[in-house]
C-alpha cells in the first residue's frame, strides 16, 4: 500500500518546484507560448489550478463535483481548454495566488480523507493515492511545458517514480483510447532512476520489454517528447507499438510532440 503521507509530500514538492519557475516572471513571459498548441504559460498554471480545485471538490463536496462533471459533459472535448482559457485571463499575480491556495487546500483535504474512500472523478473513482499520483503526474508534465517555454532544463528527481508508475498502470487505457485491444500479457518495464536506482514493473520473464532512463520514459508517457527523441529500448512488437500510443493522462488521445521538436 502506498505511503499516502509521503506521496502527498512529493505532490507538494512538485508544485513548489514549478512555483519557483514561474515566480517573478513578468507579464510578457507569462504569455509565452508553450509546446501545447494554443497554451501559454498562464494557460498551463490555470489548468493546474482548475484541476486542483475540481479535485478538492471531489474530496470535500461530492455534489459540487457532480455539477462540474455535468457541465463538462456538455462540451466533453472542449471543457478543459475552456477552463484554462478562462482562468488564464487573470492577472499573473492573481493566478499564481489562486494556484498556490488551491494546491495547498487540496493537499490538506487529501490528508484528511478517511481510509478506503474512493474519490469520484471524470473516469473511474480513485483512491487518495491514485488521485495524488495523478495530480503529481500532471504537475510534472505541465511543468515540463513551462520549462520548455522558458528554455530551462529541470533536474530529474526521485518523484519521477510516481509518474512512471502511472505510466505503466495506464497501459490498457492507452489502448482503449485508440480503440485497440491491449495484449493479454503484462509487459516488463525496467527503468533507471536519477540516482542510478533500478525501478521495475511486470514479470521478469515477460517477452515484451521496455528499458529506459526514468526521465525518458516519463517524457514518453506524458507525451512531452516524441519516442524517436528518447533513449528507450524495446523487445517485442507489442512493446514497440505501445511507445506510439502510451498516455498517462486522461481524455482523448493526445497529439504528442513532433520528432526533433526539442532537439
Give the pLDDT of residue 1: 41
Q: What is the pLDDT of residue 171?
A: 97
| pLDDT value, residue 252 | 82
Distance CA 194, CA 155 (A): 9
Tell me what pLDDT residue 261 has: 87
- In angstroms, the CA 154 to CA 215 distance is 10
User: For the range 86-93, what are the long-range contacts, defined as Cβ-Cβ under 8 Å and sequence gap of 24 or more?
Assistant: 86/46, 87/46, 87/47, 87/49, 87/50, 88/40, 88/42, 88/43, 88/45, 88/46, 90/42, 90/46, 92/25, 92/27, 92/30, 92/42
pLDDT in tens, the chain (263 residues): 458 999 999 999 999 999 999 999 999 999 999 999 999 999 999 999 999 999 999 999 999 999 999 999 999 889 999 999 999 999 999 999 999 999 999 999 999 999 999 999 998 899 999 999 999 999 999 999 999 999 999 999 999 999 999 999 999 999 999 999 999 999 999 999 999 999 999 999 999 999 999 999 999 999 999 999 999 999 999 999 999 999 999 888 888 899 888 87
- Cβ(101)–Cβ(60) under 8 Å? no
Going from the N-terminus, what domains does the chain have, and what CATH number goes with each?
4-150 (1.20.120.450), 160-245 (3.30.1050)
One-letter-per-residue 3-state SS of the chain = CCCHHHHHHHHHHHHHHHHHHHCCCCHHHHCCECCCCCCEHHHHHHHHHHHHHHHHHHHHCHHHHHHHHHHHCCCCCCHHHHHHHHHHCCCHHHHHHHHHHHHHHHHHHHHCCCCCCCECCCCCCECHHHHHHHHHHHHHHHHHHHHHHHCCCCCCCCCHHHHHHHHHHCHHHHHHHCCCCCCCCCCEEEEECCCCCEEEECCCCCCCEEEEEHHHHHHHHCCCCCHHHCCCEEECHHHHHHHHHCCCCCCCCCCCCCCCCCC
- The pLDDT of residue 45 is 98
Strand order in the sheet with 198-201: 198-201, 188-192, 209-213, 233-235
Residue 4 CA to residue 212 CA, distance in Å, equals 27
Give the pLDDT score at 250.
Answer: 85
Amino acid at each position: 500500500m502506498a505511503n499516502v503521507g509521503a506521496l502527498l509530500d512529493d505532490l507538494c514538492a512538485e508544485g513548489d518546484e514549478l512555483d519557483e519557475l514561474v515566480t517573478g516572471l513578468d507579464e510578457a513571459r507569462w504569455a509565452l507560448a508553450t509546446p501545447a498548441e494554443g497554451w501559454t504559460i498562464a494557460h498551463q498554471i490555470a489548468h493546474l489550478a482548475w484541476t486542483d480545485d475540481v479535485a478538492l471538490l471531489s474530496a470535500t463536496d461530492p455534489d459540487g463535483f457532480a455539477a462540474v462533471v455535468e457541465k463538462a459533459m456538455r462540451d466533453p472535448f472542449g471543457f478543459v481548454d475552456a477552463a484554462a482559457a478562462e482562468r488564464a485571463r487573470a492577472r499573473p499575480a492573481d493566478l499564481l495566488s489562486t494556484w498556490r491556495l488551491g494546491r495547498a487546500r487540496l493537499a490538506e483535504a487529501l490528508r484528511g480523507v478517511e481510509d478506503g474512500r474512493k474519490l469520484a472523478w471524470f473516469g473511474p473513482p480513485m483512491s487518495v493515492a491514485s488521485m495524488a499520483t495523478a495530480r503529481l503526474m500532471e504537475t510534472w508534465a505541465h511543468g515540463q511545458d513551462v520549462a520548455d517555454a522558458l528554455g530551462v532544463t529541470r533536474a530529474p528527481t526521485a518523484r519521477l517514480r510516481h509518474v512512471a508508475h502511472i505510466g505503466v498502470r495506464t497501459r490498457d487505457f492507452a489502448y482503449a483510447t485508440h480503440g485497440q485491444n491491449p495484449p493479454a500479457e503484462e509487459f516488463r518495464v525496467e527503468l533507471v532512476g536519477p540516482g542510478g536506482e533500478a525501478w521495475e514493473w511486470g514479470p521478469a520473464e515477460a517477452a515484451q520489454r521496455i528499458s529506459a532512463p526514468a526521465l525518458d520514459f516519463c517524457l514518453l508517457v506524458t507525451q512531452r517528447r516524441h519516442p524517436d527523441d528518447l533513449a528507450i529500448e524495446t523487445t517485442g512488437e507489442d512493446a514497440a507499438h505501445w511507445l506510439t500510443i502510451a498516455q498517462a493522462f486522461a481524455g482523448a488521445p493526445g497529439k504528442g510532440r513532433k520528432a526533433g521538436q526539442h532537439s
